[in-house]
Structure formats: C-alpha cells, structure tokens
Amino acid sequence: MAWKPEFPGEWPTLGWTMLDWYTDMLAQPDCADYQPLVLTDEQAKFVLDYYRLDPRTGRRVVRRGVLSRSKGWGKSPIVGAIGAGEGLGPVVFDGWDANGRPVGRPWNTVRTPRVQFAALNEDQTKNAFEPMLEMLREGPVMDYYDIDPMETFVALPKGRIEFITAAALSKEGEKPVFAALDQTEGWVRSNGGKNLASVIRRNAGKIGGSTLETPNSYRPGTGSVSEETFAYAQAIEEGRASTGGLLVDHREAPASTDMSDDESLYQGLLVAYGDSARENGGWVDLRRIMDEIRDPATDPQDARQYYLNQVTHASDSWVSKPEIMAAVDLNKHPAPGDVITLGFDGSRGRNKGKADATALVGMRVRDKHLFTIGVWEPREGDPQDWTPNIAEVDAVVRETKEKFNVVGFYADPSGWTGQIAEWEALFASTLKVKASRDAPISAWPRGKDTRVADHVEMLRLALVSGEMTWDGSSALMRHMLNARRRALRRGGYLLYKQFPDSPDKIDAAYAGIMAYKACLDFISSGKSAKPVNGPRRRRKAVLA
C-alpha cells in the first residue's frame, strides 16, 4: 500500500495515533480525581507536526523539535506525554494500512528504548519528569503495560525512562530514542549545557532518535543552546542551511505590546498564551500574570522573556527585537520609479577565512521606509575562503539604478574601492546628494568616527520612535539584533560584532544606517526629485 490523503494537501503523521494513545493511557496531571489526558488544540497540533512522515518513505520528518511558549503555557505536560509515548507507544512507522493510512509500532520492537529528560540540574529535571510520573501512575497505562514508575527512573518492559543532568558527561555513547532538553535558554558553555546538548544530539542521531527543546525565549548574546537553535532555524529560512528536519514552534506577544498599558498588555498575553488562557478554555489566569508583571520586583526584561515570550536583547545590544518589530510594515512595497537612497557595506573576507557579509539596503524617501535589496553571506557548505560574487553584486546595483530614482548612495569603501569608483562614475550625474565633493558615494573613507556614531544613534531613535518603517526582512533583522554597542572615547558609540571572529553578521545594519543618512541629507538639502515612470531609458542622440 501507499499513502492515500483524504483531502488535498494532507500529509501523513503518526500524531493522530499518539493523541489517541495519550487519552487512552495517560492521566491528566495535577488533578484531584482521574481524568484522561486531553491536549489543547495548540498542543495537539504540535504533536501532529512532530510525528509528520514522508509520504513516499514513511520516514519521520522531524529529528529535532523546539516548543517555545510562555511560562505556564503547558510545555511540561506535553513533553511528559511525548516522553511516555516514545517509551511505550506506536511511534515507529510500520507501513500503511488497507486504507493507505500510516501504522506505527513501539520502539521495543526495533531496539531497547531509552528515553531521557535532560536539564542543567536535578531540580530542573522535575519540570517534565514529575508530571510524566503522575500521568503514568494515575493512568490506565499501569493496567496495560508492565512498568514501574520510580522516583528517579521508569522501568519499562524493555528499556527505561530516566533523567540526566549536565554533570552526566559519561552519557556519551548512549542511544536515546527520544530526549527532552528543558529550558535551553539557560544552557551555555560555562554550565555544561552546550556540551550536554551536543552529546544528546549525537547519541540520538546514531539510531534515528529525536530531540525536543522546550525553552522560554532566549536573550541574544548569551550563546545559549536555544539561541543557537533559533539561529539555525533562521539560516534555514534564509536558505543559508539545509532544512535538516528542524521543527520550530514559537509564539510570542506582538512587538507592539505596551507593558505600561493594561489593555495592550492583556491582549499581548492573550496572544502569547493562546488556548491555555482561561478566556480560551485553558487554565492560565492572565490577570494574575499581569499582577506579577506589575510587581516592582519583576524585571521588565524578565517579564518580556518569560511571560510575553519575546526575544529581548543583550545588555549591549543596539536594538531589541520588540522595538524594531513594532516598526515593521509589510504593506509597503517600493515600486519602480520611487525616489530612494542606497546604503552599501561590503566585505571581501576576514582573517582566518571568516568572511563578513555584503549588503545593499534602500530607503524610500517619501515615507522613510527601509528595505533590503541584497545580502550576500556564506552559506552552509561554502569554503572558508568564500567571497561574494562581485559580478552579481555589481549587477544588482545596476539593476537598482535602472529600477528606481536613486538620489543618494553612500557606501563604506573598505575592500570595494575599485568597484565603488566605477559606481561613482555610473551614478555621478544623477545623484542629488553626495558623500563628499570628491567622492560622491564613498562615505567614511578613513574609517568610522564620531560622525558615524551620530547616525548610528539617529537610526536607532527613528526605529524605536516610529519615525520610519522597515520591511521586516529576516537578514536585516538578524544583522540589527547581532549588533553590539561599543563606546567611543569622544562620546557616542559604534556597532561591532560580539567578538571579532563571531559568525554573526552586522553589515546590513551599517548599510541601513548609510541609506538613512543619505535620505536625511537629501531631505535637508531642499532638493526635489520626481519619481520616474518605470525603468530609466537612455536617450538616443538625435542627428541634425
């Protein structure tokens, strides 16, 4: 048999089978009397996605999952259910039935299952392990399976469910069919978390097992396991890395959520908590959460991280994600002929083969809307000595000139002096504002100084005050969030990477700063420029 969808677009999953298994076998935790475990719609959707199958081979699509939700949303019960199901339930593909629907069988028909709940310390492992024990002890599963749910592990008919901590470095070489990694926003190198995550993933990968992270939102710059996972997901989204079976389910309050306004905060929490909120049939009292947020002892950044589930910022970040996301306008689309300015920041490479990015960013003058034209940076599998394709970059610059009415174009000439000289010749007669009298495009030829610092801060203020908008492109957002402030002796600050050889790029942020500076210079010059109707055409000479 083969997979037979019941409606167009349907994909196969063992998730439906597992949802039934949870209800039939497990008890709802933290209840006075027995109730069968029934997941919310959002939790159920995650299970369906997590157990998705390839319709051609029946192979499980997801090898690595991330479930990121607000504190109290219900991550621990669902992880406990998945862990119990991986140890006992039919989670291994076993063909298609007579109707072309997927059939599963337990891991113990293939190998001895080992399920692990991992955390930084023993107390943290209780978040998901203890609810799982209650689900087993109070559920019908005790009547159907020969299991012994003890305090430190669960003995299965074949195999075991256990918890491990960052101190358990001897776990290298084990073979977990499933591992839950809890609160990975706090797993860093110094506490052994990064090493533990690497060991678990290697062990699971050897036998075709899967892992599941359950973090709250991370703080940029900490170098946590969660931060690196989200960076990997973004690389996949931008096409810089292969898909690799990663499932990310993350929900946060809208960036426009104002914690000082009761109604705005309430609506933001309603989005973040979804169907776990009482208003949506769940259990979370949002008004009680609001009281916690209002408590003077609650750090506002903690409130955003744990309750709104928003990615905030490091202490030296240039901007925070909520700030810049509030300025995103997806309804604005620069059209051919629009009057724009350009900013360019390029790189031909760095020491030790770690190449920076090259970026071209535009700003529409009439409404100060920043948009990404091109970002060139190394992709997964590129050689260490990667450099951007100069001909491709040049072609995009020339196409942009033909498409729009470019009235200002500022560029950092570092590494691109010759190319920028060619662009200066190309643009010189049409630019309304110039970087200098002798260099129409080449801005900051002697390096960045306090004058540059002024415009770095001006763009930040324009973003957070709503004076401008931007297109929300993932590459530009990533570069802006990667940027770190470093103070100058004479006042102000410039933007740098977290450390010199960091793989995190910031070049598009500087390109945006230059496009914004050119826009302000054009506006303050008092010059005018009309949109052109479509691509510019060269005038033909008329012979007398």
pTM score, two decimals? 0.75
Mark residue 415 as left, alpha or beta (left: phi above 0; alpha: psi -120 to 50; beta: remaining).
Answer: left
Q: Is 68 helix (H, G, I), strand (E, B) or coil?
A: strand
Q: Region 221-232: what's the mean pLDDT?
A: 90
> In this structure, how many other beta carbons lie within 10 angstroms of the beta carbon of residue 76?
21
Q: What is the pLDDT of residue 543?
A: 43
**Residue 276 and residue 251 in contact, taking contact as beta carbons nearer than 8 Å:** no
| Pairing between β-strand 148-149 and β-strand 64-68 as defined by DSSP bridges | unpaired
From the list 231, 226, 229, 201, the residue with the least C-alpha distance to 503 is 231
Give the whole-angstrom CA distance, residue 494 versus residue 449: 8
Higher pLDDT residue, 74 or 255?
74
Q: What is the pLDDT of residue 321?
A: 86
Give the whole-angstrom CA distance, residue 70 versus residue 269: 9
Could you tell me if residue 8 is inside a domain? no
pLDDT of residue 92 exceeding 70: yes
Query: Is 330 found in the same domain as 303?
Result: no
pLDDT of residue 284 exceeding 70: yes
Q: Which ranges of 412-542 does DSSP label H, i.e. alpha helix?
A: 417-427, 450-465, 474-482, 507-525
Token duo for residue 436 = 């200098």
**Residue 479 and residue 359 in contact, taking contact as beta carbons nearer than 8 Å:** yes
Give the whole-angstrom CA distance, residue 311 versus residue 319: 11
Could you tell me if residue 542 is inside a domain? no
Which phi and psi (to 5°) does residue 59 adopt?
Answer: -70, 140
Give the whole-angstrom CA distance, residue 445 versus residue 449: 11
- Burial-class residue 342 by CB neighbours within 10 Å (0-12, 13-18, 19+): buried
What is the band of 338 on the pLDDT scale with cuts at 50, 70, 90?
very high
Helices and strands of the chain, counted as H and E runs:
16, 17
pLDDT tens digits for 166-218? Answer: 775 556 678 999 999 999 999 999 899 999 999 999 999 999 999 999 999 98
pLDDT tens digits for 395-412? Answer: 999 999 999 999 999 998
Token duo for residue 166 = 């960052």
Higher pLDDT residue, 168 or 440?
440
Counting every residue written for the chain, the total comes to 544
**Residue 69 and residue 303 in contact, taking contact as beta carbons nearer than 8 Å:** no
Q: What is the pLDDT of residue 540?
A: 44
Residue ending a domain, among 206, 222, 250, is 250
- Sequence-separated (6 or more) residues with CB below 8 Å from residue 46: 65, 67, 78, 249
* Percent residues over pLDDT 70 in the chain: 94
- Burial-class residue 396 by CB neighbours within 10 Å (0-12, 13-18, 19+): middle
Token duo for residue 220 = 């940029």
Q: Is 56 helix (H, G, I), strand (E, B) or coil?
A: coil
Query: Is 305 found in the same domain as 421?
Result: no
Q: Is 262 helix (H, G, I), strand (E, B) or coil?
A: helix
pLDDT tens digits for 101-123? Answer: 999 999 999 999 999 999 888 88
Which phi and psi (to 5°) does residue 541 adopt?
Answer: -70, 140
* Per-residue CA distances from 468 to 328, 459, 477, 541 (Å): 9, 9, 15, 42
Query: Is 385 found in the same domain as 337?
Result: yes
Say which residue the tokens 């001006």 belong to: 458
Could you tell me if residue 270 is inside a domain? yes
Could you tell me if residue 5 is inside a domain? no
Query: Is 399 found in the same domain as 267?
Result: no
Query: Is 203 found in the same domain as 58?
Result: yes
**Residue 118 and residue 199 in contact, taking contact as beta carbons nearer than 8 Å:** no
Question: Which of 147-161, 335-349, 365-379 has the least mean pLDDT?
Answer: 335-349
- Sequence-separated (6 or more) residues with CB below 8 Å from residue 72: 273, 276, 284, 289
Give the whole-angstrom CA distance, residue 412 versus residue 391: 18
Give the whole-angstrom CA distance, residue 255 versus residue 257: 5
Query: Is 276 found in the same domain as 186?
Result: no
What is the band of 25 on the pLDDT scale with cuts at 50, 70, 90?
very high
The mean predicted confidence, pLDDT, of the chain is 90
Query: Is 282 found in the same domain as 384?
Result: no
Domain count, the chain: 3
* Per-residue CA distances from 488 to 28, 171, 355, 491 (Å): 57, 47, 25, 5
Could you tell me if residue 63 is inside a domain? yes
Query: Is 105 found in the same domain as 212?
Result: yes
pLDDT tens digits for 293-337? Answer: 999 899 888 999 999 999 877 778 899 888 899 899 999 999 999
Token duo for residue 531 = 């949109």
Give the whole-angstrom CA distance, residue 76 versus residue 29: 10
Which phi and psi (to 5°) does residue 313 adopt?
Answer: -165, 160
Could you tell me if residue 463 is inside a domain? yes
Could you tell me if residue 317 is inside a domain? no
Query: Is 145 found in the same domain as 285?
Result: no
Query: Is 267 found in the same domain as 221?
Result: no
Query: Is 226 found in the same domain as 337?
Result: no
Could you tell me if residue 59 is inside a domain? yes
Residue ending a domain, among 250, 285, 304, is 250
In 36-109, at which residue ranges do the beta strands (DSSP E only) sit?
64-68, 92-96, 102-105
Q: Which DSSP letter does residue 93 get?
A: E
Q: Which DSSP letter does residue 314 get?
A: -
Strand partners, 116: 162, 179
Give the whole-angstrom CA distance, residue 137 versus residue 143: 10
Q: What is the pLDDT of residue 542?
A: 43
- Burial-class residue 309 by CB neighbours within 10 Å (0-12, 13-18, 19+): buried
pLDDT tens digits for 32-62? Answer: 899 999 999 999 999 999 999 999 999 999 9
Domain range for 190 is 15-250
Q: What is the pLDDT of residue 536?
A: 54
Q: Which DSSP letter does residue 344 get?
A: E
pLDDT of residue 390 exceeding 80: yes
Domain of 395, CATH number, reads 3.30.420.240
Domain of 86, CATH number, reads 3.40.50.300
Give the whole-angstrom CA distance, residue 89 versus residue 22: 9
Higher pLDDT residue, 284 or 499?
284
Give the whole-angstrom CA distance, residue 162 versus residue 117: 6
From the list 423, 443, 461, the residue with the least C-alpha distance to 518 is 443
Q: What is the pLDDT of residue 499?
A: 76
Query: Is 75 found in the same domain as 33?
Result: yes
For the ranges 128-132, 146-150, 167-171, 524-528, the one whose mean pLDDT is highest: 146-150
**Residue 514 and residue 443 in contact, taking contact as beta carbons nearer than 8 Å:** yes
Q: What is the pLDDT of residue 177?
A: 97
From the list 333, 362, 326, the residue with the least C-alpha distance to 466 is 326
pLDDT tens digits for 446-487? Answer: 566 667 888 999 999 999 999 999 999 999 999 999 998 888
From the list 326, 314, 319, the residue with the least C-alpha distance to 253 is 326
Residue ending a domain, among 250, 278, 299, is 250
For the ranges 124-133, 168-177, 286-295, the one whose mean pLDDT is highest: 286-295
